[in-house]
Amino acid sequence: MLVEVAVAAAVRGTFTYRVPAPLASEVTLGQRVAVPFGRSPRATGYVVGFPTSPPPGLELKDVAAVLDAVPPFTPRLVELIRWAEDYYLVPPGELLRAALPPGLNSRRGTEGPARRGVEYASAEPGAADAVASLSRAPAQRAVLEYLLARGRIPLEELRRAFPHGRPALAALAKRALVRLERETKVARSGLLDAAADAPPLTAAQAAALVEVEAAFGTFTTFLLHGVTGSGKTEVYLQAIARARAAGKGALVLVPEIALTPQLSGRFRARFGDDVALLHSGLSGAERHAEWQRLRAGEARICVGVRSAIFAPVQDLAVIVVDEEHESSFKQEDGPAYHARDLAVVRGRYEEAVVILGSATPSLETLENARRGRYRRLELPARIDDRPMPTVELVDLRRLRRPGQDLAPGLLSPRLVDALAETVAAGQQAILFLNRRGFQTLVVCEGCGEEARCPDCSIALTHHARRGVLLCHACGRSERMSSTCPACGGVRFGVGVGTEQVEEAARAAVPGARIARLDRDAVTTADETAALLARFARRDLDVLVGTQMVTKGHDFPGVTLVGVVLADTALALPDFRAGERTFQLLTQVAGRAGRGADAGRVLVQTFNPATRAVARSVNHDYAGFAEEELVERRRRGWPPFTRLLAVRVEGSEASAPRAAEALARAARPALQGEIALLGPAPAAIERIRGRTRWHLLFRAPTPQALFRVHRALAPIARRPPGGVEVRFDMDPHAML
Ligand code: ADP
Ligand code: ZN
């Protein structure tokens, strides 16, 4: 008996092994096996096929051992992963490895680590001052800087970031610069007690459910387009309830669970222990345990983030992708896959119904619906016919008068008044700005020098609360000083971040209870849940934050949403900049007026006439999408073309050289229909001292891009000058 094995290493191709007779009965598709590979006598591999004849002229080796009783992957999952590896141009085995929860990646077999508390690491207060003193302990310094940048994080993350960082961490703990803690119980907040009973559906919801149910057992993809608060989640819940009643399983992908404890809470409340949660806030052991419950059929419903697309749900009948337009479904590091697109592929393999839900569908999904590939379901109104919030623009250009300095991004008089009225009326407000920190740039008055990261080509952000200048690309931090290190002149900060908005809000509405939600203010899922719970309990009047405040929160007390600056994302060199801005504005506006009282949204902007801003005033998704699609077609962007990004990282000299070499190699494959944009330095040209170059290939079909890949693969495998080359099919990040 022969098996085809994908070895869990970043190598191309699969390898054929003999199965010794005693193991033959145990080996099945998707099984983990130990095989001799290279210098290792027992490398971990996955059985991905059963060849009937051996490759010619090769001495075959034997499989050394079978590692699990039950294969971690079902045969259909193996098919899905192999499809994904071909499509996303990932080496075999890499996605298999990435798909598994951490415990299963070790060689210990199915015995996961016992459930125990989650360990956390954080920098002690004042530790930032000690960074400079660690110049002769670079490992400790690196770990400490990482913690200063990330705040309180599960130890697991630190272990992944610094695989050999254990001694440094121990030394830091001993010096009392780092605190290590263990937490055993997941915080239960008031938010999680969602109503368990299913309400009677509205007519629009019922009509959608009828269509979904009629499609059960066939591969059918739906676009569930419903305005914010229209009851999309209730449609998912009831569709899944029907599937569950028939003994089937369901998979629900959400952008981020930590931010939407309400959503997972509703699934738990409805389906109890039948729900397995998979997200990064869990420890490896917890994720492992949830994975096993699904694999064993003990839990039939999986609610998870991106990587849960590979969860071993049994008898999968319904796949839901909530907020399908969210870019967090796109994996950016490691194997670059898109979980929403894979959901549709998985639906095909599993003959399942796929529901893509959104108030602002991505233009890719919309175009698929327009072409009849996806069926459209509409929920055009809010539950109980609650009105959509009114949206007003505040034109910041008119507020700029000489002598009267309103820093761009601070609160206009109208927003201040609205805030005060809201708080006085006992209602709640959300203030949104997509930038954290206090000031986004620090400049010297004397010589004009900006504080920049020495390792990255970006400016440092001033975080006043912690007294540091922080690089948002690499996490490096240094003490903030108002003296310019270059000339000794006085430095001042410009540009507004959430910290400053919080301060402005406190000054504007003295006595109001205000809190901030961003990655500096909260660092764990529990803290996030606790803060959201306080807001939900109305212990807080105003919540200031980054896009963390825009997610699917359902706070009936919120009647005012203030967008402090709508323009932050508009100027980015990205053809999706307008789409992202429209989605963000719609999403955050959707937080207002979800209860008995009507909602109001104030959007401060320098670009009131820009399509994304102007169309958001009337919640006009259709109008926005229509015009945007016309422009995409004219300019040759997706969804009318396909893109392949090739990302090159190396030294200042080697990166451009390798990029040029790749461009030359691609030239023969570039026939009329395929265009090459670049090679060019990335918008953020340097991160962590590594120079980054991009090549962007554009073609009408993925097949044409695969031809490009074949031409580049030999160079990518052995790139010159120690550079790293990564392929990114259907790229999202343009920076
Ligand atoms: P969406 O996912 O579209 O934003 P939700 O499903 O969260 O909307 O619904 C918004 C609110 O309306 C929630 O509080 C939900 O519990 C409630 N809701 C949804 N469907 C119904 C219904 N049929 N009857 C009463 N309330 C509903
Ligand atoms: Zn940096």
Tell me the pLDDT tens digit for each residue of 385-395.
888 899 999 99
Asked if residue 381 lies in contact with residue 581, where contact means CB atoms within 8 angstroms, the answer is: no
Ligand 1 pocket, mutate which of 550, 554, 591 (most atoms under 8 A from CB): 554
Question: Which run of H or of E encompasses 529?
Answer: helix 525-536
Q: Whose CA is nearest to atom 25 of ligand 1?
A: 199
Q: pLDDT value at position 106?
A: 45
Across 185-189, 363-367, 591-595, 717-721, least confident range: 185-189
Ligand 1 atom having least distance to the Cα of 556: 14
Asked if residue 423 lies in contact with residue 512, where contact means CB atoms within 8 angstroms, the answer is: yes
637 burial level (CB within 10 Å; 0-12, 13-18, 19+): middle
Across 112-116, 236-240, 711-715, least confident range: 112-116
Q: Whose CA is nearest to atom 19 of ligand 1?
A: 231
Q: pLDDT value at position 196?
A: 58
Whether the CB of 226 sits within 6 Å of ligand 1 = yes
Ligand 1 atom having least distance to the Cα of 227: 3
In the block, residue with structure tokens 């345990």:
289
Q: What is the pLDDT of residues 612-653, one digit of tens each?
A: 999 999 999 999 999 999 999 999 999 999 999 999 999 999
Mean pLDDT of 290-318: 93
Q: pLDDT value at position 162?
A: 66
Across 9-23, 196-210, 537-551, least confident range: 9-23
Q: pLDDT value at position 195?
A: 46
Kindly tell me if the per-residue pLDDT of 661 is higher than 50: yes
Whether the CB of 205 sits within 6 Å of ligand 1 = yes
* 114 vs 562: which has the higher pLDDT: 562
Q: pLDDT value at position 114?
A: 39
- Minimum-distance ligand to the CA of 194? 1
Q: What is the dihedral of CA 495, 497, 503, 508, to 10 degrees?
A: 70
Question: Which run of H or of E encompasses 691?
Answer: strand 690-699
Q: pLDDT value at position 149?
A: 65
Hey, how many other C-beta atoms are within 10 angstroms of the C-beta on 20? 13
Kindly tell me if the per-residue pLDDT of 170 is higher than 80: yes
Q: What is the pLDDT of residues 205-258, one digit of tens each?
A: 999 999 999 999 999 999 999 998 899 999 999 999 999 999 999 999 999 876
How large is the angle between the packed helices 498-508 and 413-424, nearest 10 degrees? 60
**How far apart (Å, rounded) are the C-alpha atoms in residues 47 and 50?**
8
Query: What per-residue string of b and e applies to 315-326 under the rule 16 or more CB within 10 Å gives b?
Result: ebbbbbbbbbbb
Mean pLDDT of 298-312: 94
Beta strand spans in 445-513 (E): 461-463, 468-470, 477-479, 491-494
Q: What is the pLDDT of residues 515-563, one digit of tens each?
A: 999 988 888 777 787 788 788 888 899 999 998 888 767 788 999 999 9
* 332 vs 666: which has the higher pLDDT: 666
Q: Whose CA is nearest to atom 9 of ligand 1?
A: 231
Q: How confident is the model at residue 693 (pLDDT cuts 50, 70, 90)?
A: very high
Whether the CB of 229 sits within 6 Å of ligand 1 = yes
Whether the CB of 586 sits within 6 Å of ligand 1 = no
Reported residue count of the chain is 735
Across 71-75, 416-420, 660-664, least confident range: 71-75
CA nearest 26: which of 112, 109, 111? 109
CA nearest 326: which of 256, 260, 257, 392? 256
CA angle 584, 555, 600 (to 5 degrees): 60
Mean pLDDT of 62-86: 88
Q: pLDDT value at position 357?
A: 97
Three-class SS state of 177? coil
Q: How far is the CA of 384 from the centre of ligand 1 (A)?
A: 9
Q: pLDDT value at position 710?
A: 92
CA nearest 122: which of 89, 90, 146? 146
Q: What mean pLDDT, rounded, does the chain reach?
A: 87
Whether the ω angle into residue 639 lies within 30 degrees of 0, i.e. cis, is yes
**For 116, phi and psi rounded to 5 degrees?**
-140, 180
Q: What is the pLDDT of residues 323-363, one digit of tens each?
A: 999 999 999 887 899 999 999 999 999 999 999 999 999 99
Kindly tell me if the per-residue pLDDT of 103 is higher than 60: no
Kindly tell me if the per-residue pLDDT of 193 is higher than 60: no
Asked if residue 121 lies in contact with residue 158, where contact means CB atoms within 8 angstroms, the answer is: yes
Whether the CB of 357 sits within 6 Å of ligand 1 = no
Q: CB pairs under 8 A, 24+ apart, for 209-215?
A: 209/235, 209/238, 209/239, 209/242, 211/375, 211/377, 212/239, 212/318, 212/353, 212/355, 212/377, 213/239, 213/242, 215/353, 215/375
Q: pLDDT value at position 187?
A: 35
Whether the CB of 439 sits within 6 Å of ligand 1 = no
Sorted by sequence, the CB contacts under 8 Å of residue 693 that are 6+ apart come out as: 647, 648, 649, 655, 656, 658, 659, 678, 679, 680, 681, 682
Mean pLDDT of 47-61: 86
Q: pLDDT value at position 12?
A: 61
**How far apart (Å, rounded) are the C-alpha atoms in residues 46 and 91?**
13
Asked if residue 707 lies in contact with residue 731, where contact means CB atoms within 8 angstroms, the answer is: no
Ligand 1 pocket, mutate which of 197, 209, 232, 233 (most atoms under 8 A from CB): 233
Hey, how many other C-beta atoms are within 10 angstroms of the C-beta on 646? 28
The side-by-side arrangement of strands in the sheet containing 353-358 is: 275-278, 301-304, 249-253, 316-322, 353-358, 220-226, 375-379
Q: pLDDT value at position 157?
A: 61
Across 39-53, 153-167, 347-361, least confident range: 153-167
Q: pLDDT value at position 145?
A: 76
Q: How far is the CA of 393 from the centre of ligand 1 (A)?
A: 28
Mean pLDDT of 577-600: 91
Whether the ω angle into residue 679 lies within 30 degrees of 0, i.e. cis, is yes
Whether the CB of 231 sits within 6 Å of ligand 1 = yes
**How far apart (Å, rounded) are the C-alpha atoms in residues 213 and 662?**
49
Whether the CB of 199 sits within 6 Å of ligand 1 = yes
Mean pLDDT of 35-52: 86
Q: pLDDT value at position 110?
A: 41
Q: pLDDT value at position 269?
A: 80
Asked if residue 615 lies in contact with residue 607, where contact means CB atoms within 8 angstroms, the answer is: no
Ligand 1 atom having least distance to the Cα of 226: 3
Whether the CB of 262 sits within 6 Å of ligand 1 = no
**How far apart (Å, rounded) are the C-alpha atoms in residues 99 and 79?**
13
Ligand 1 pocket, mutate which of 383, 384, 586, 587 (most atoms under 8 A from CB): 383
The whole-model pTM stands at 0.84
Whether the CB of 554 sits within 6 Å of ligand 1 = yes
Whether the CB of 382 sits within 6 Å of ligand 1 = no
Asked if residue 274 lies in contact with residue 287, where contact means CB atoms within 8 angstroms, the answer is: no
Query: Which whole-number Å values give the CA distances from 468 to 123, 127, 176, 301, 633, in the listed order?
Result: 13, 11, 20, 44, 45
CA angle 676, 678, 680 (to 5 degrees): 165
Ligand 1 pocket, mutate which of 193, 209, 234, 358 (most atoms under 8 A from CB): 234
CA nearest 727: which of 96, 45, 85? 85
